[in-house]
Amino acid sequence: MLEKISMYKNPFVGLYASASDKYALVASPHKFSSSLKKILKSEIINLDINYSLLTGLFSVLNSNGCILPFFAGKEEKIVRSLGLNTFKLSHHPAVSNNILANDTAAIVNPDLTKSEVKGIEDALGVEVVKRKIGDYKTVGATSVVTNRGLFLFNNSSDEELRELEEIFSVKGLRGTSNMGSFFNGLSIIANSKGVAVGSLTSGVEAQRIYEALLG
C-alpha cells in the first residue's frame, strides 16, 4: 500500500515517524498514527523525543535496534522495552538525516566518529559504511531504504545506485517526492509492507516510489 498523507498540513511526513517492519515510532495526533498503522501494517509506538513531535528526525529504526540523539531520556527505556538495542549519537542529533539503514546494512555520514559507527553497528546489528550519496553527507535526508527496496534522489549516479543496491541487498530507483523535492527521507515513511508519502507528491512521483520500494 502507498498513500499520501500530511501532518498539520506539512507534507514532510518523514520528520514525524520512523519505521521498521514491526514497529513505527510516532508522536502525533491519533489520525496520523491511525493512517500509519493502516499503511505500514506495523505496531504503533507513541513516542516523543524530549517532548518533540519530530520523532522521525530524531530516530532510526530497524528490526534489531534504534538510534537516538544524545538528549533522549525516558525514550531509550521505552525502546529497550520493545526488545530493541539502543545507541545515542553524541554529535548529530538529527539522527535520521545522517543514517540510512535496513536489516542488512547501514550507510552513515562520513563525519561520524569511530565510536559512533561502532555503536550503530552494535545496536542495529549490521555492517556500517561511511559514505556520501550524490556528494551529500546527509544520506538519510535524501534517500530511503527498506528490506524490500531503495529510493535514491536524482543527484545520485548509476554507479552509486549499483553500489548501494549491493550494500543493502535490494533493488532501487532514483526520483523525487513532494513535487520535485530531493529530500526523500524527509518526505517518506516506509517499511517492506507499505509507504506513506507527503501529500504534495505527484502521481508520477508516487508511481516511481511504489516501484522502488514495493514493486
In three-state form (DSSP H/G/I as H, E/B as E, the rest C), the secondary structure along 58-127 is: CCEECCCEEEEECCCCHHHHHHHCCCCEEEEECCCCCHHHHEEECCCEEEECCCCCHHHHHHHHHHHCCE
Cα separation, 195 vs 156, in Å, equals 22
Q: Which three cell numbers stand for residue 15?
A: 520528520
Query: What is the Cα–Cα distance from 151 to 191, expressed in whole angstroms?
Result: 12
- In Å, how far are 26, 30, 173 from 34, measured between CA atoms? 11, 6, 29
How far does Cα 141 stand from its chain's mean position? 8
On whether the CB atoms of residues 64 and 124 are closer than 8 A, the answer is: yes
Quick: pLDDT tens for 146-161. Answer: 999 999 999 999 999 9
Instruction: Say what the pLDDT of residue 202 is.
Output: 98
State what percent of residues in the chain have pLDDT above 70.
Answer: 100
Q: Are 3 and 11 in contact (CB under 8 A)?
A: no
Q: Are 142 and 134 in contact (CB under 8 A)?
A: yes
Q: What is the dihedral of CA 72, 95, 122, 51, to 10 degrees?
A: 20
- The per-residue pLDDT for range 158-182, each reduced to its tens digit, is 999 999 999 999 999 999 999 999 9
Task: Compute the average pLDDT of residues 35-48.
Answer: 97
CA atoms 119, 125, 129, 132: torsion sign:
negative
Digit-coded pLDDT (tens) for 76-107: 999 999 999 999 999 899 999 999 999 999 99
The residues pairing with 153 across neighbouring beta strands, listed in sequence order, are: none
pLDDT class for 212, splitting at 50, 70, 90?
very high
In the numeric block, which cell numbers belong to residue 89? 549519537
- Integer Cα distance of 86 and 83 in angstroms: 10
What value does the mean pLDDT of the chain take? 97
Paired residues of 3 in beta bridges = 196
pLDDT digits (tens, 9 = 90+) for 110-125: 999 999 999 999 999 9
* pLDDT confidence of residue 29: 75
2-213 domain in CATH 3.75.10.10?
A: yes
The predicted model scores a pTM of 0.97
pLDDT digits (tens, 9 = 90+) for 19-32: 999 999 999 778 99
